[in-house]
Structure 1
Amino acid sequence: MAMKQNEKQSTAEKLREFLHYNHETGVFTWAKSVGQRAQIGRVAGSKVPSGYIKISVSKKVYSAHRLAWLYMTGAWPENEIDHVDNNPSNNAFSNLREATKSQNAQNRGNRKGTVSRFKGVIFDTQRQKWVACIWLKDLKKNKRIGFFSSEEEAAKAYRSEAEVLHGEFFKVPEYQR
């Protein structure tokens, strides 16, 4: 991921002038008063509808998880920042990891509007069977894992394949455990 325009001018040193970051809780507080809402010690930022925390510093808006990465490592992330627990407002440093766009997509849940309750499972109406399939980014295509009599069997097959392919980024949605 290319550095965002607003990130080019900001450095970890400049960030620390304005904000304090608690790496255990993931919460930013103001280290310097810069207006009526930004008073020393007050929690910085606000949650947007997507669940992410956004913080405005020097008239520029940043995602808190990217600021946390800068604060802790001294450099902007080269890629996306993944929330290990899938909670976009949990910015504890132990919950953040750098990931490619593809890796970050591996721990998403099931797409809206699908018939199956499980990620990676669809129903083939012609064969009247459940199909487990997985996206292969490098080949830019879906790999069919197999046909199954039950939705649960297909989900189990998807899970096994995904665990091998996605390694540490593999995640089974809570409802699928």
Structure 2
Amino acid sequence: MKTHQLTHARLLEKVVYDPDTGKFTHLGRRRPKVGQFDKDGYVKISIDEVKHQAHRLAWLYVTGNYPPEDMQVDHINGVRDDNRWTNLRLVTHAENQAYRLASGREQSARGISGVRGVYWHGGKGKWIVTVRADKKSHFGGYHASVESAALAATVLRNQIQEERASA
């Protein structure tokens, strides 16, 4: 059963959601863990070969309905993989954008890490460092922690500045 509009009943057949932890588990599988990070740091869950954002599935699971078309599910604390029910709320697109700007949750070029040039690579499960300078991308490696990636980004930016100065 492949569907783009997942029903509440089908969702209940496939997964269990724990509102206290925000975690989903598959029903009837040896490996019950479910979900993986997308490139933006949100958790995506595949059900019937269709990927869904976990925070939207949490809303469907608890309320029995998708959010209205003109509303978005927002993470109150700004942490995109924190899908606890107490951390989710409905907001309009304008409210969501205003909150992001006011809180600095996603400043341009900082993304979910909060560090310029440091991004989450969901496929590798690591932080990646990429610094843009002179219309080129400079790769700074993959890092297990955001702290080590931040340090690598600083070192790479300094190295690029030194190379510019000596040229």
Identity level (%):
35
Q: Structure 2: 5+ residue runs without aligned partners? A: 110-167
SS at match of 2:96: helix
TM-score under structure 1 normalisation? Answer: 0.53
Q: Does 1:77 align with 2:61?
A: no
Q: Which residue of 2 aligns with 1:93?
A: 85
SS at match of 1:6: coil
Q: Does 1:14 align with 2:3?
A: no
Q: Does 1:44 align with 2:34?
A: yes
- Distance in 2 between the 1:112 and 1:15 partners? 35
- Distance in 1 between the 2:38 and 2:62 partners? 23
AA aligned opposite 1:25: T
Structure 2 residue aligned with 1:30, among 26, 31, 49? Answer: 26
Task: Tell me the C-alpha RMSD between the 2 structures.
Answer: 1.7
TM-score under structure 2 normalisation? Answer: 0.57
Q: Structure 1: 5+ residue runs without aligned partners? A: 34-38, 114-177
Quick check: which has more Rg, 1 or 2? 1
Aligned pairs for 1:76-155 (under 5 A) are: 76-78=66-68, 79-108=71-100, 109=104, 111-112=107-108
Q: Which has the higher helix share?
A: 2
- Distance in 2 between the 1:62 and 1:111 partners? 25
How many residues in Structure 1 have an aligned counterpart in Structure 2?
Answer: 101
